[in-house]
Amino acid sequence: MLTRLLDQDRPPITLTVDGQPIAARDGDTLLTAILAAGLGHVRTGEFGDGPRAGFCWMGACQDCWVRVGGQAMRACSTLATPGMAVTRR
């Protein structure tokens, strides 16, 4: 499971994922925030092949897309901001 290890004394922020508030830290990407909150995945494969939680962490594999305010975004390359409303598919 994703584990916070280093440099984690950053200011706390709160955002929502599928309507649920989660605690994150200033500087977290959405991928870090969602997985560190224990939500387990950021999207679901379109072909019945289960949950996905990203893969490359550098904006190449396109396997961590979430929606923020109706817009599709890569969770690995989008910084979490206070009050952000994220939805997963």
Partner 1 sequence: MRVAVVGAGPAGIRAVETLVAAGLRPAWIEESPDGGGRIAQRPPGAFRRDARALYGADAPRARALHATLDGLKPQLDWRPGTLVWNLDPRTRRLELIQAGRRGTLDYDRIILATGAMDRVVPLPGWTLPGVTTLGGAQVALKAQGVAVGARPVFIGTGPLLWLTALQYARAGAPPPLILDTTPLLTKRAGLPMLLHDPALALRGLGLRLALLRHAPIHEDVTPIAIEGAGHVQAIRWRDAAWREHVTACDAVAMGWGLKPETQLADLAEIPFAFDPIQRAHLPVRDAAGRSPVPGHYLAGDGARVAGAKVAEWTGARAALALLEDAGLPFDAGQAGWLEARLQGQARARAALERAFPYPARLAARLPDDTMLCRCEGVTAGQVRASAAPDLNRAKALTRLGMGRCQGRVCGLAGAEILAAQLGVPVARVGRLRGQMPVKPIPMDAL
Q: Minimum CB separation from partner 1 for residue 30, in Å?
A: 11
For residues 81 and 89, give the distance between their C-alpha atoms in angstroms, rounded to a whole number: 20
Residues 1-30, one symbol each (x = binds partner 1 by CB under 8 A, - = not), give xxxxxxxxxxx-------------xxxxx-
Q: Which of 36, 66, 75, 84 binds partner 1 (CB under 8 A)?
A: 36
Q: How far is CA 44 from the centre of its chain?
A: 13
Torsion of CA 30, 31, 34, 35, to 10 degrees: -160
Q: CA angle at residue 72 from 69 to 75, to 5 degrees?
A: 100
Q: Minimum CB separation from partner 1 for residue 43, in Å?
A: 10
- Point out which span in 14-22, 59-67, 81-89 binds partner 1 (CB under 8 A): 59-67
Q: Which residues pair with 45 in a beta bridge?
A: none
Q: What's the token pair of residue 63?
A: 């396997």
- Interface residue list for partner 1 (CB under 8 A): 1-11, 25-29, 32, 35-36, 40-41, 45-47, 49-63, 65, 71-72, 77, 79
